[in-house]
Amino acid sequence: MKPGTREGVSLVELTVALTFLGVVLTSIAGLTVEAAQRAQELSSQSRRQAAVTEEVNRLTALPWASLTPTSSTGICRTHNDPGFQHTRCVTVAAVTTFVRQVRLIVTPAQLGVRPDTVVFTRANPPTLNPLKMP
């Protein structure tokens, strides 16, 4: 072996490499936890939006005559769907004789997920055709 050359790795080099590896892995672990929390939040929001869409579709498919005005608190039902327990409150207000305003509030039971509110208007179609001329 020539003088000044050595084989292998010194203890100092090994310590520096392991410290650097520890810092990198700790940073990656923090990012992984943050990504998992964000994925959980997005999953809850998707389930909430699906519940809102389902109820809005149901309410828009109902005949206009079945949308009777309710009290200011509305009609609330609790749903214990697997993975998304929530309460749906529906309030129907008579704006005019032929117009109803429907308000839907979906409140998740899970902490940290905000309730979602949708307001839409339903109108009773006219019985006469204004384009028909006598």
Q: Both tokens of residue 12? A: 């100092």
85 domain-assigned: yes
Quote the mean pLDDT of the chain. Answer: 86
DSSP 8-state class, residue 124: P
Domain count, the chain: 1
3 domain-assigned: no
The b/e string for 77-113 (b: 16+ C-beta within 10 A; e otherwise) is eeeeeeebebebbbbbbeeeeeebbbbbbbbbeeeeb
69 domain-assigned: yes
Model confidence over 26-80: pLDDT tens digits? 999 989 999 998 998 888 888 888 889 999 999 989 888 888 888 777 889 999 9
Q: Is the pLDDT of residue 1 over 60?
A: no
Provide the residue range defining the domain that includes 37.
11-123
97 domain-assigned: yes
5 domain-assigned: no
58 domain-assigned: yes
Model confidence over 84-124: pLDDT tens digits? 899 999 999 999 888 999 999 999 988 877 899 999 999 98
Domain harbouring 22, CATH code:
3.30.1300
